[in-house]
Structures are given as structure tokens and as C-alpha cells.
Amino acid sequence: MKVLVTGATGFVGPHLVQALLARGCRVRAAARRSEPARAQPWFDQVEFVEVDIHEEGLDIAALVEGVDALAHLAWPGLPNYQALFHFEHNLMADYRFLKRAVTAGVSQVMVTGTCFEYGLQSGPLSERTEPLPANPYGLAKNTLRIFLQHLQREHPFTLQWARLFYLHGAGQNPNSLLAALDRAIDAQATEFDMSGGEQLRDYLPVDRAAAYLAELLLHRQFDGVINCSSGQPVSVRALVEARLRERGAAIRLNLGRYPYPSHEPMAFWGVAERLQTLLGAAHDT
């Protein structure tokens, strides 16, 4: 099986490429710049294409020639979830790219969505929960899904929509919580400022998420929305304390230093039953 991966040098992309190679897939990796790709351990094992997929003059037929599936991860402008750029530019640019890929013959498309499609709803969120996006990023992603579902009626193809929850691991945003904590540990800080830490979130290591996405691509008959999540609510404080134990660090947590974010509910997590049912044992790898 040959897979075209867009956004191959982003946060999830490098891990997905590695997971696909580990499963015997051939990979055509696409990104806007080649330098970050050359730094990846898999660079010599893939067919790398330096390309801006939103470019109007893109030779889409050449890009998708010979591929069995498209894993579309590219999405510029993150992690600024509030920017109007997401629906003023990315939404239609992505739709045009994906429509051209489908009409050029790609029969299986996997797109990474986001838990922000569920908006400010609290508690366990299943794929049957109505999306109510509350920021431009979630709105753009959810609208893209709707557009693609309408496209399926005119140009039949398999659409696998994987909603990512809170990922962490190698390559994560340097401003993210765990990245900031790691810097504090490395600097031998005695205190770490954070919120009260009572928020419940759904955390997943990025390499495990990539394994789920790779397995999803191999389940070529699956069409629909699926939560790429742990299915387990974990408090922010518990996550931080687990990292401190993992690294053998003793830092006093300055709880309540920052207010709770107003753009997120206090407690939400993904229901992972569909993922577990589809992937079976692969869910526990």
C-alpha cells in the first residue's frame, strides 16, 4: 500500500510516516520545506516531495500518481486556534486540494480533524455528539468535513475523519504545558506556575495516535468519523505530576497562578469505543 502524507514534517506527520513504514507501507511524504524532512530518520526510506499543496499551479495528478490513500495532515497557522485565517483561507484551499486529489483518482482520504469540533460541550464526547465548534479552527475543520461528505455524493470515495484530542510528545509545540514543564526541569527550577490543574482532558502520546492513524488507513473499508483519543479523562495536575515522577524531578507546583481558559470547558474527553472496536488489539499498542 502506498500512502501520500501531507504535513509530513509537522507535529503528527513524522510519527505517522514512521508508523506507516513500520507496517510495510510505501510513503510519499509532502511538505513545504525539505530541510526539516532531511532531519528525520525516515528521509531515505520515503519519496519526499517539496510542495505547497495550496499552490494554484500544483500538478495534482503527478503528486497523487500511484498512491492508494491520502493522509491529509497539513494545516498552516497552528496553534493559533482563534485566527480567522482558518476559515478565510485554509478551509477552501484544503477543499480545493482534496477535491482535485479525489477527481485525480484518489479513492481513500484520511483527514485529521479536531476535538475542537465539539466546541464547549462537557463530559464524554462520542462521534454521535453533535459538533458545535466555538473557535475558527474547529469551525473550519468541521465545515471541511461537511463539504467533503457532500463531495462524496458526486465523486464517491472513502472519507476517514479522525478527530485528534490532546497529543503530546516529540515535536510538540514549545509553548505547550509539558514542553514548558520539561524546560523548567532542565533549568532546575524550584517552582512551576500553572492553573489550578482541575481540568479534565483526553491526553494521548503522539506516537500512539500515529499508530492509530496508520491502522485506520489499513482498514480501508472504514468510512466515517472516529475519535483518535484515549477515552480516559485525566486532570491537568495529574498529567504534570506524572511527568515529574517520570523525570525524577522535585518542583513545587504553583497551582492557581494562571486562570482557567475561558475558551475550553472544564471537563471533556473522547469516547473511544469506535476506535477500540475497529482496531481491536491495535488500540493497546
CB 125 within 8 A of CB 66: no
- Best CA proximity match to 5, nearest among 30, 24, 37: 30
What pLDDT digit, counting tens, does each position of 120-145 carry?
999 999 999 999 999 999 999 999 99
pLDDT tens column, 176-211 = 999 999 999 999 999 999 999 999 999 999 999 999
Rg (CA), the chain: 19
Q: Is the Cα torsion angle 151, 128, 132, 230 positive or negative in sign?
A: negative
Asked if the structure places residue 249 within a domain, the reply is no
Number of domains making up the chain: 1
Give domain status of residue 221, yes or no: yes
Q: Is residue 185 part of a domain?
A: no
pLDDT at position 158: 98
Residue 179, C-alpha cell as written in the block: 514542553
Amino acid code (one letter) for 20: L
Write the DSSP symbol of residue 81: T
Q: Would residue 239 count as lying in a domain?
A: no
- Indicate which CATH number applies to the domain containing 56: 3.40.50.720
The boundaries of the domain holding residue 159 are 2-167+203-232+270-284
* CA nearest neighbour of 104 among 70, 72, 149, 147: 70
Q: What is the mean pLDDT of residues 96-103?
A: 98
Place 284 in a pLDDT band, splitting at 50, 70 and 90: very low
> What tens digit of pLDDT does each residue of 55-94 get?
989 999 999 999 999 999 999 998 899 999 999 999 999 9
Its sign, for the CA torsion 23, 24, 25, 29, is positive
Instruction: Judge whether 100 lies within some domain.
Output: yes
Asked, for residue 45, whether it belongs to a domain, the answer is yes
- Which pTM value belongs to this model? 0.94
d(C-alpha 65, C-alpha 153), whole Å: 23
Residue 108: strand pairing partners:
158
Query: In sequence order, which residues have a C-beta less than 8 Å from that of residue 231 and are 6 or more positions away?
Result: 202, 269, 270, 271, 272, 273, 275, 276
Distance between CA atoms of 276 and 281, rounded to whole angstroms? 8
Q: Which residue has the cell 524531578?
A: 249
Task: List all residues 6 or more positions away from 20 whose beta carbon is below 8 Å from its beta carbon.
Answer: 3, 5, 27, 71, 214, 217
Residue-wise over 53-80: b if at least 16 C-beta within 10 A, else e?
Answer: bbeeebebeebbeebebbbbbbbbeeee
